[in-house]
A and B are shown apart, each in its own frame.
Chain A
Amino acid sequence: MPLLKEYEPFTGPQTIEELYLLAEKTRPRVIQNINSTAVGGGVAEILSRMLPLMQELGVNAKWDVIKGGEKFFKVTKKFHNALHGKSEEITQEDFTVFDEASEMNRKSMELSGDIIFIHDPQPIALVLQKNSLKAKWLWRCHIDVSNPDPKVWNFLRPFIDLYDAAVFSAQAFSPELPIRQFLITPSIDPLSDKNKELSLVTIESVLKKFNLDLEKPIVTQVSRFDYLKDPLGVIEAFEMVQRHTDCQLVLVGGTATDDPESTEVLAKTLDRASGNPDIHVLAIPSGSDIEINALQRASSVVVQKSIKEGFGLTVAEALWKGRPVVASAVGGITLQVVHKYSGLLCHSIEGTAHSIKQLLQNPEYAKKLGENGREHVRQNFLLTRHLKEYLLLFLSLFHKGEIIYL
């Protein structure tokens, strides 16, 4: 794992000094992170990169994982989908399974932190132990709960209301709650394989591997094959662009063999793309981070035409590489792309096509947007900012008011 000093070229030395200062104020407290899995998924990825940095700062941060059988995780997966607004059949038995697993974890888990930092809904009911402990309780919601299924939301609400504060990734996800709520956006790690600098040789070797034309401008969307990412809409927009500009489209995403919907969307995308040699649909194994990095870096325009989006970190990844971005004005994307400053926002297929054309035909303008975008990410969406806000969050639990003197 990288050391904090390795982030200094991106943040400047003062940011690292500030982290040490905040850590010193946080240091007497023990931070106990709890989630449902040690590997796989965004939460585990963030924690695995964040915790070593907290520990390097001298913060006593630890990470525990709740236990749950197959039945429990089936139920929490349904909860997850329902909170995202997807229709799910949830029975009384599902709630009972959830309650029983939560009870078992309350009995078996040692809750020893001064701040108990619960991630996502799976461990949410541990908060019922609150009265027997002196700890402060935080609930970190990583999902888009702007239109949740009321049945699941109403089930979870009594737990949420017991916390000292909740944290959401975008303001649009914030419901009215009787507890304090903070906005902390996710982040990318500039030193990870997905975002680190690559040599031209590596980039070209990836382009050759996927039979891409090195001379032709590339338009890319990176996303899993999902209706909500609208790959068919991207193809339609690309074909409008192609009428006037010679370019190639790359739709690249990880494959998920356990997701029948993804297989269906991939098949439809391949079918729609067939017959157009300039459209490359690349279903690659998850974890192909260097390949994704290279494709983003080689792109003239990166598109994210999502219909719904949690946060859309692929946008931050592209902006970090100085790429001009065309993206839908949905969810957390609007925090990353300020229209005409750090990219172009759109609301339709036609608008997407128009914006892609604008950027392909005006490389100077595209370059300026890309530069602004990289700077915007440097200041707002790197792991170090995320770490700083977590430390501020911990401190906020022990101070009142809107101006806090440390």
Chain B
Amino acid sequence: MTTDEAPKTSQPFQFYSRLHLRELTGVKAKNLKELVSFLKVVPDAVIYHHTHHFLQQHQSLSPEPTNDFSHWVTFALNEVELGEKLASINAIEFPSIQELRAKIVSTIENFLEKTKRELREANEGQELYFLKSISFIFPTPYQVTSLEEFVAALEKVTTDSIYFHMFEARLYRGKGTNDFSIWCQQALGETELAKQISRLDSYTYTLEGLRGKIIALGRARLKKTA
């Protein structure tokens, strides 16, 4: 595709959305040893929930809260240094939940090895309760066949839809990258735009901020064709 042609395709992009329900596991940790032992065995859906739900639950807060493990270690156990290390684990750098889980586990285990003092316990009621997300996925009315339509639809879909295509596709449904980049690359042949979207440090944006950023990238590309 040349730069002076507005990108179109015969392979439409169907926008989906995702709603979720939180399922309780009945398992709770009150100190770091318990946390790390449960982290090794809980289903992927649990790791996914605790490292991602804040994106949808606190989408307007700036700066955003970190993942649940960091938040709990910092505020319930008062282990500020470890909390900071866990907060700085950037999920975008991990291609799968298994690898993200391994990083979280090794960060806590390294801390435990170095810490000689007695471990702190969470107060009653402040334990970390393990949850998982049940995802319900359904098509939205938006289906597009050109970059122009794609950008226009991005302005209208819910943040749940953006979340689904940017986060859930990559890490939870194991696609390795986000749906938007896959379509831009495979259907539109827009390699550069696909790279720009997948390079976004998506976890540091609010969902509205992320929407704005992807729209801006799409518009910049369209401007070149104008």
Q: Chain A interface (Cβ within 8 Å of chain B)?
A: 12, 14-15, 18, 21-22, 146, 168, 171-172, 174-177, 180-184, 329-331, 334, 338-339, 341-342, 372, 375-376, 379-380, 388-389, 392-393, 395-396, 402-406
Residue B127 CB within 8 A of the other chain? yes
Given the known A-B contacts A341-B65, A388-B19, are A395 and B136 also in contact in the complex, defined by CB atoms under 8 Å? yes
Smallest CB separation, B130 vs chain A (Å): 9
Those 5 A-B pairs whose CB atoms lie nearest each other, nearest first: A171-B129, A181-B24, A176-B26, A375-B60, A183-B22
Expressed in whole angstroms, the Cα–Cα distance for A192 and B208 within the complex equals: 29
**Within residues 51 to 109 of chain B, which ones have a CB less than 8 A from any CB in chain A?**
57-61, 65, 75
- Count, A-B residue pairs, CB within 8 A: 95
* Of the residues A180, A184, A372, contact of B60 by C-beta under 8 Å: A372
A402 with B26: CB separation less than 8 A: no
Smallest CB separation, A2 vs chain B (Å): 22
Indicate the member of B25, B27, B127, B136 with the most A CB atoms within 10 Å. Answer: B136
Indicate the member of B24, B28, B43, B132 with the most A CB atoms within 10 Å. Answer: B24
Expressed in whole angstroms, the Cα–Cα distance for A14 and B57 within the complex equals: 17
* Of the residues B61, B129, B132, B172, contact of A174 by C-beta under 8 Å: B129
B21 with A181: CB separation less than 8 A: no
B58 with A183: CB separation less than 8 A: no
B19 with A402: CB separation less than 8 A: no
Given the known A-B contacts A176-B26, A375-B60, A403-B173, are A171 and B125 also in contact in the complex, defined by CB atoms under 8 Å? no
Expressed in whole angstroms, the Cα–Cα distance for A10 and B24 within the complex equals: 28
Expressed in whole angstroms, the Cα–Cα distance for A395 and B20 within the complex equals: 11
Q: Chain B interface (Cβ within 8 Å of chain A)?
A: 17, 19-28, 43, 45, 57-61, 65, 75, 125-127, 129, 131-138, 157-158, 172-173
A342 with B19: CB separation less than 8 A: no
Chain B hits for A330, CB < 8 A: 125
Chain B hits for A176, CB < 8 A: 26-27
Expressed in whole angstroms, the Cα–Cα distance for A398 and B45 within the complex equals: 19
Expressed in whole angstroms, the Cα–Cα distance for A404 and B23 within the complex equals: 14
A393 with B57: CB separation less than 8 A: no
A331 with B125: CB separation less than 8 A: yes
Chain A hits for B17, CB < 8 A: 18
Expressed in whole angstroms, the Cα–Cα distance for A181 and B134 within the complex equals: 12
Identify the closest chain A residue to B64 (Cβ): A341
* Of the residues B24, B61, B133, B157, contact of A338 by C-beta under 8 Å: B61
Chain B hits for A172, CB < 8 A: 125, 127, 129
Identify the closest chain A residue to B138 (Cβ): A406
Chain B hits for A331, CB < 8 A: 125
A171 with B131: CB separation less than 8 A: yes
Smallest CB separation, A187 vs chain B (Å): 14
Given the known A-B contacts A168-B24, A379-B60, are A404 and B125 also in contact in the complex, defined by CB atoms under 8 Å? no
B19 with A372: CB separation less than 8 A: no
Chain A hits for B129, CB < 8 A: 171-172, 174
Expressed in whole angstroms, the Cα–Cα distance for A22 and B17 within the complex equals: 12
What are some 14 contacts across the A-B interface (CB < 8 A)?
A12-B158, A14-B158, A18-B19, A21-B138, A171-B24, A171-B129, A181-B26, A182-B23, A341-B65, A372-B60, A376-B60, A402-B133, A405-B137, A406-B137
Smallest CB separation, A117 vs chain B (Å): 15
Excluding A172-B129, A376-B61, 11 further A-B contacts by CB distance (< 8 Å) are A15-B158, A176-B26, A177-B26, A183-B24, A334-B126, A341-B61, A376-B58, A392-B21, A402-B134, A402-B135, A404-B136
Identify the closest chain B residue to A178 (Cβ): B26
Smallest CB separation, A179 vs chain B (Å): 10
Given the known A-B contacts A14-B158, A406-B138, are A389 and B21 also in contact in the complex, defined by CB atoms under 8 Å? yes
Identify the closest chain A residue to B23 (Cβ): A182
Chain A hits for B45, CB < 8 A: 402
Identify the closest chain A residue to B168 (Cβ): A403
Expressed in whole angstroms, the Cα–Cα distance for A339 and B58 within the complex equals: 13
Identify the closest chain A residue to B127 (Cβ): A172
A174 with B26: CB separation less than 8 A: yes
Expressed in whole angstroms, the Cα–Cα distance for A339 and B126 within the complex equals: 13
B58 with A341: CB separation less than 8 A: yes
Smallest CB separation, B222 vs chain A (Å): 25
Smallest CB separation, A395 vs chain B (Å): 7
Identify the closest chain B residue to A167 (Cβ): B24
Indicate the member of A175, A404, A405 with the most B CB atoms within 10 Å. Answer: A404
A183 with B23: CB separation less than 8 A: yes
Smallest CB separation, A377 vs chain B (Å): 11
Expressed in whole angstroms, the Cα–Cα distance for A182 and B28 within the complex equals: 15
Expressed in whole angstroms, the Cα–Cα distance for A57 and B110 within the complex equals: 53
Given the known A-B contacts A174-B24, A181-B24, are A403 and B135 also in contact in the complex, defined by CB atoms under 8 Å? yes
A392 with B136: CB separation less than 8 A: yes
Smallest CB separation, B96 vs chain A (Å): 15
* Of the residues B25, B57, B59, B137, contact of A404 by C-beta under 8 Å: B137
Chain B hits for A389, CB < 8 A: 21
Expressed in whole angstroms, the Cα–Cα distance for A331 and B23 within the complex equals: 18
A404 with B24: CB separation less than 8 A: no
A379 with B59: CB separation less than 8 A: yes
Chain A hits for B24, CB < 8 A: 168, 171, 174, 181-183
Smallest CB separation, B77 vs chain A (Å): 13
Smallest CB separation, A336 vs chain B (Å): 11
* Of the residues A183, A334, A395, A405, contact of B131 by C-beta under 8 Å: A183
Expressed in whole angstroms, the Cα–Cα distance for A402 and B127 within the complex equals: 24
Chain B hits for A403, CB < 8 A: 134-135, 137, 172-173
Identify the closest chain A residue to B139 (Cβ): A406
Chain B hits for A15, CB < 8 A: 158
Expressed in whole angstroms, the Cα–Cα distance for A171 and B136 within the complex equals: 21
